[in-house]
Amino acid sequence: MKLVRTRHELAEIVTQWQREGETIGLVPTMGSLHEGHLTLVRALDGKANRRIVTIFVNPIQFNNPDDFQLYPRGLEADEALLAETGVVDVLYAPDETQIYPPGFCTRISVTGPDRMLCGGDRPGHFDGVATVVTKLFMQTRANIAAFGEKDFQQLCIIRRVVTDLDLPITILPVPTVREADHLALSSRNKRLTPAQRDQASHLPKALIDCLAALKAGQPVAAALEHCAQTLKDAGFTVHYLDLRSEKSLGTVEKAEAGARLFVAASLGDVRLIDNMPVA
């Protein structure tokens, strides 16, 4: 595996791969890697001859400067973890100048899906996500990119960008990877104190119980209200808890196939997100 720090060096490698007819797979990340990221890498088995993992903590998707500064980083540990897989060809870890050169003033905005859920209280977040991911698509010239379903809204927005801009890349969704107590793997979990980590197990349990109540016929509003109260009682600040369509992200009134339960809730200053399908 080769560590690459500039877009020019990356371009030389990618150009050679394209001359040789290689298929390029991409896993974009912000580092602080865990088993969930490695699952994305493995999801490209049989789908790409070459694999690139990118690590870039994207400043323009953070509407809270403190959150950007506190985001966990550790390039050496990430590099070692990826090298152990034996299947990653390039780790692309650019600095900010390689992504946003002097004078950079362009943003990609997906109007509609960016205003709900996480977009509701994180204005500009998904503009930053859409912009940096498009930049990484262009710089890596990947044929296929893997994204986890834990960030399901992000997945939907990236799909929208690819469709609307006719980008020549396939988006591969990968199911959420969870710990033994069903908490979704996330780099932010590393910021939880031991006590908060114990509390965090209530989040997936509340979603599982809510889905069971919905499937048993409990009205959506009542099931969501009970779930939200359960989370508050467990010490969470609940930002949203919604039942929405997987396709449009619009709210739905019935718990049926194609619907998904979405939540964002915080323990202290650590914001956790999760989602689970109805069926």
Within 8 A by CB and 6+ apart from 269, the residues are 66, 67, 70, 191
Could you confirm whether 37 is annotated as catalytic? yes
Distance CA 30, CA 92 (A): 11
CA distances from 269 to 70, 116, 216, 230 (A): 10, 21, 35, 19
| Separation CA 278–CA 172 (nearest Å) | 21
Residue of 8, 34, 37, 182 with catalytic role = 37
Paired tokens of 233: 């009682």
Distance CA 158, CA 89 (A): 24
E-strand ranges in the chain read: 2-4, 24-29, 50-55, 90-92, 144-148, 170-174, 237-245, 259-267, 270-277
Active site residues: 37
